Amino acid sequence: MLEFKVSYQSRESSARLGELILQHGTVETPVFMPVGTQATVKAMSPEELVAVGAEIILSNTYHLYLRPGHELIQEGGGLHSFMNWRHPILTDSGGFQVFSLADLRKVNDDGVTFRSHLDGSSHYFTPEKSIEIQMALGSDIAMAFDVCSPYPCDHSTALRDLNRTTAWAKRCKESHQHDYQNLFGIVQGGIYHDLRQKSLEELLALDFPGYGIGGLSVGEPKDIMYEVLDELMSHFPTSKPRYLMGVGSPDCLVEGVIRGVDMFDCVLPTRIARNGTVWTSEGKINIRNAIHAKEFKTLDSDCDCYTCRNFSRAYLRHLFKANEILGLRLTTIHNLAYLMNLMREIRGAIKEERLLNFAKEIRNLYPI
């Protein structure tokens, strides 16, 4: 089972340092989790993930259910063995993917009927089905099946989704039986403060070992997301981890940590890397741009990743212009290394009580 230890609480903000102790290892928090949707972080080997400092990754219940199937993964020894990742894994519930299939699904109080984005076949997800899949996968942390409200949506729609999320969380907990897997509830409620508080109170009554914050970073302006967090975070128990789902830009990470978030995930760093966009200690650059054609310096002089130790901007631009696979691999390595290093710097800034000043530097590099 999960053990969460808060080792330091900041005096200048709600940020804190902690350790998340799981079956497959200990994770320092605050932490960013690279996303391995299909049992792989795109373009990265497990050894490369370890090299950049990843301690925990996320995989996707919906996608692995459709392909190759959770039964096959279970037969192969579970997700850790199947993908040769010996460290902690969190699996999402599939709720967000179903939410994103707006034209392919129908939701009722019992569950969701949806058509596969792969072949159009019809499937039915219930809370019990999501838990069945995640138990078969054998992740260290599983997420309750929830209903993610779109942005914008009215109060009544957000309330309906919240009520289903609470009812489904109860069903998930009732059906969850696993030796070491930990089930987290997910707070919903859209951008409405009263609904967020209602959702949290109902989930706290179910006493999950940790709590996700869903339904943010779904199109709303960042200042609205921060307002929701400002209102909500002080009501979370201090003894349990708090996970802001689907957030991964440098500015949002530091803003979330200031407000007391412990865990983050997002496809953003790997997705933009494959398009040639990289984050550096001097801000964001696009390696495809002509300005880099004769730049023989590295991506980031402050970075010690494999890419920055060995290759120039000019070479990386050449790889992208030539459509060589190595290019997107190298930018992916760098972006994940940048975020892992950013989280280390954030943890150091918390301990030294300089996080607010550090946040100003990040805002200047990555303005909204």
Comparing C-alpha atoms, which of 159, 85, 166, 100 is closest to residue 127? 166
Are 91 and 59 within 8 A, CB to CB? Answer: yes
φ, ψ of residue 356 in degrees (nearest 5):
-65, -40
φ, ψ of residue 134 in degrees (nearest 5):
-70, -35
> How many Cα atoms occupy the beta-carbon half-sphere of 118 within 13 Å?
10
Q: Which string of DSSP letters, residue by residue, matches 98-135?
A: HHH-TTTEEE-SS-EEEE-TTT--EEEE-HHHHHHHHH
Comparing C-alpha atoms, which of 141, 148, 143, 106 is closest to residue 125? 106
State whether residue 59 is helix, strand or coil: strand
Comparing C-alpha atoms, which of 25, 3, 4, 21 is closest to residue 86? 25
Enumerate the active-site residues: 92, 265
Comparing C-alpha atoms, which of 294, 288, 296 is closest to residue 317? 288
The DSSP bridge pattern shows strands 16-22 and 25-29 to be antiparallel
State whether residue 246 is helix, strand or coil: coil
Looking at this protein, which amino acid is placed at residue 73? I
Contacts 24+ apart (CB under 8 A), 295-302: 299/331, 299/334, 300/334, 300/338
Instruction: Please state, in angstroms and rounded to a whole number, the distance separating the CA atoms of residues 188 and 192.
Output: 9
List, in order, residues 6 or more apart from 194 with CB less than 8 Å away.
none
Crossing angle (nearest 10°) for helices 325-351 and 355-365: 150
Round to the nearest angstrom and report the end-to-end CA distance of the chain.
39
